[in-house]
Amino acid sequence: MDAKQKILIVDDDENIAELISLYLIKECFSTEIANNGKDALSLVNSYNPDLILLDIMLPDIDGYEICTEVRKTKQTPIIMLSAKGEIFDKVLGLKLGADDYMIKPFDSNELVARVKAVLRRAVPVEEPAAHTPSIVDTDRQGEYVEYDNLLVNITNYTVTHEGKPLEMPPKELELLYFLAKKPNQMFTRDQLLDKLWGYDYIGDSRTVDVHIKRLREKLNENYNWSISTVWGKGYKFEVRQ
């Protein structure tokens, strides 16, 4: 039997945290609870969760700062929890690297559904072995797309840009590969959500906008390709002759 997936619940309201834990244990997850930011950051390393449920309003370190710290070293999926419902708060959480955002109060069934959906989408990022083969040996093995100074390999989840490996979270890499595999074809935000996040994804199209923005910040597009916006419709990987 596979080991239970581990969920770290970060919430200063002990009653809410315990209730969430009960819901998840019932669904055969293993859980740990942190009631403040300091304990949360410690458990991220010692407990090594498969997913983090992260409340924004904490007594010491807020959820935004914790998300930023986690993203410096890990790609553990994060679902932010907050009583705030403003678009700004949602977008900020996504920009900092959160995978989803839920507004309190929420239905227990929806919470469990989102946890399972995010875990299904997550791709484990393995630590490199002591003698990892060079990029030259592995970047053209399996399924990949290649353009001028850009190679995206979906088999081993690597991106080589301007001759150097480029670190990229799995979902950004999947989005880049999907667009680059079908050059000059426009996809709406809803189509991208459906293809990459799944038909059961519960969120809004701003998720796509945030991931496109992150890709553009990482890629030098001064070549014959770029990620182009089709205003009012969506995005495409444009290749110019």
Nearest to 229 by CA among 187, 190, 195, 197: 187
Extract the tokens encoding 47. Answer: 């407990």
Q: Determine the residue type at 175.
A: L
Three-state DSSP at 93 gives helix
Report the DSSP beta bridge partners of residue 82.
103
Handedness of CA 137, 141, 143, 146 (dihedral sign): positive
- Enumerate the CATH 3.40.50.2300 domain ranges in the chain, comma separated: 6-121
What are the Cα distances from residue 72, in Å, to 80, 84, 184, 212?
17, 25, 34, 20
pLDDT mean over 184-193: 91
pTM of the entire predicted model: 0.56
Q: Determine the residue type at 191.
A: Q
pLDDT mean over 133-157: 76
Q: Which CATH architecture has domain 6-121?
A: 3-Layer(aba) Sandwich (3.40)
Angle between helices 14-26 and 108-121 (to 10 degrees): 60
User: Band of the pLDDT at 25, cuts 50, 70, 90?
Assistant: very high
- Answer with the residue of higher pLDDT: 181 or 202: 181
pLDDT mean over 157-170: 87
144 near 162, Cβ under 8 Å? no
- Enumerate the CATH 1.10.10.10 domain ranges in the chain, comma separated: 135-239
Tell me which of 102-106, 134-138, 190-194, 236-240 is least confident: 134-138
pLDDT of amino acid 139: 64
Buried b (16+ CB within 10 A) or exposed e, 176-198: bbbbbeeeeebbebeebbeebbe
Alpha-carbon Rg for the chain, nearest whole angstrom, is 19
User: 135-239 adopts what CATH topology?
Assistant: Arc Repressor Mutant, subunit A (1.10.10)
- Answer with the residue of higher pLDDT: 169 or 84: 169
Q: Compute the distance between CA of residue 211 and CA of residue 217 in angstroms, rounded to an integer.
A: 10
Three-state DSSP at 123 gives coil
Query: φ, ψ for residue 6 (rounded to 5)?
Result: -100, 130
Q: Report strand pairing: 30-34 vs 6-10.
A: parallel
